[in-house]
Amino acid sequence: MRYDLNLLPVFLTLMEERSVTRAAERLGMTQPALSNALARLRVVLRDPLFVRERYGIQPTELALELAPVLASALGQIDEMVRGQQEFDPATAERLFTLAPNSYVEFVLVPAVVARLNEVAPGIRLRLTPYGSDLAETGVVSGTTALALGRFTEVPDNLVVQHLMDDGLACVVRAGHPDVGDKLTRATYERLRHVNVLPPGRLKAGLFQALERQGLKREVAVSVTHFLAIPEMVAVSDYCATLPRLICSRIAHDTRLKILPAPVDLGTFPVDMAWHVRYRADPAHRWLRGLISEVAREVVAGA
């Protein structure tokens, strides 16, 4: 029997998304085309594979058994084929999907885009939400090229590379009546704070650092993205504790004042992760190298 390998990404994306609509969007297909591919899969495998429920589709027992086997097989095929392909960034026309957390999107991605514009103008990026864990980024299934952020409990089919480290500093409005040229521990604990709660596990870093130092903090407002902080702090007497590289990006705003944290809050790592199938792919290797180089330059220039 002949098998259409093009059906495998359809199956794996449906397993991850549990939605025909979202799967079609990620694969760049129309919903009728995806439904047709699913129908062909059902004929070949003699199983419905997915059952419609109120909030999407759920895999059958056979689908659950097949998913890891097919993902591994597709990964091996991709690695062998892509490893033989040549890649010229100056002339390549290609789309890469990245899943950066909000910190990386703010600090690193603009510099990556600028470098791509210089050396690989035909390379396009699509950013997908980081989500609450790696599975939601698409990197575990391989539909996303890279996840960038802070990772814990990494699946065996992912490769992780360290990119850089960052520390923490504080920002208040320039005319804050209670803060001079130094932020003391007593003042920090007396102030009200703006807290960032991005998706994923980055938020745990600051909480743990504060706990280690026994530093108390009264949170007045919680936001979901670092971009909300400058305007909020500029018009209030709140304080925000942010990564130093973010502080360096907003230091030009004369309404704000950047100060060292009252105690040493340590550093946190920033990593990138990718599916093993892309380990030898020339285009992916080139992109990872470019991102690593840009990360080093961003840290050095801060």
Q: If we measure between CA atoms, which residue out of 277, 232, 230 comes closest to residue 83?
A: 277
Least confident of 32-41, 56-65, 113-122, 133-142: 133-142
Which pair of tokens denotes residue 290? 């470019």
Q: Which residues contact 32 (CB under 8 A, 6 or more apart)?
A: none
CA separation for the pair 24, 88 (Å, rounded): 29
Which pLDDT does position 82 carry in this prediction?
A: 60
Give alpha helix (H) positions in the chain.
7-17, 20-27, 31-45, 61-82, 102-107, 109-119, 134-137, 185-190, 203-213, 229-234, 244-250, 282-301
User: What average pLDDT score do residues 32-60 get?
Assistant: 89
Alpha helices by DSSP H, 191-281: 203-213, 229-234, 244-250
Q: How far apart are CA 80 and CA 57, in angstroms?
A: 33
Which of the four pLDDT bands, split at 50, 70 and 90, describes residue 199? Answer: low
193-230: burial string, b at 16+ Cβ within 10 Å, e else? bbbbebbbbbbebbeebbeeeebebeeebeeeebeebb
3-class SS of residue 17: helix
Indicate if the pLDDT at residue 202 is higher than 50.
Answer: no
Q: Which domains does the chain have, with CATH numbers?
A: 7-82 (1.10.10.10), 94-165+269-301 (3.40.190.10), 168-266 (3.40.190.10)
- Extract the tokens encoding 219: 């949170």
**Reported pTM:** 0.71
Burial of 39 (0-12, 13-18, 19+ CB in 10 A): exposed
Count of residues making up the chain = 302
pLDDT of 212-265, one tens digit each?
888 899 999 999 888 899 999 999 999 999 999 999 999 999 999 999 999 999
* ∠ Cα 79 116 295 (to 5°): 80
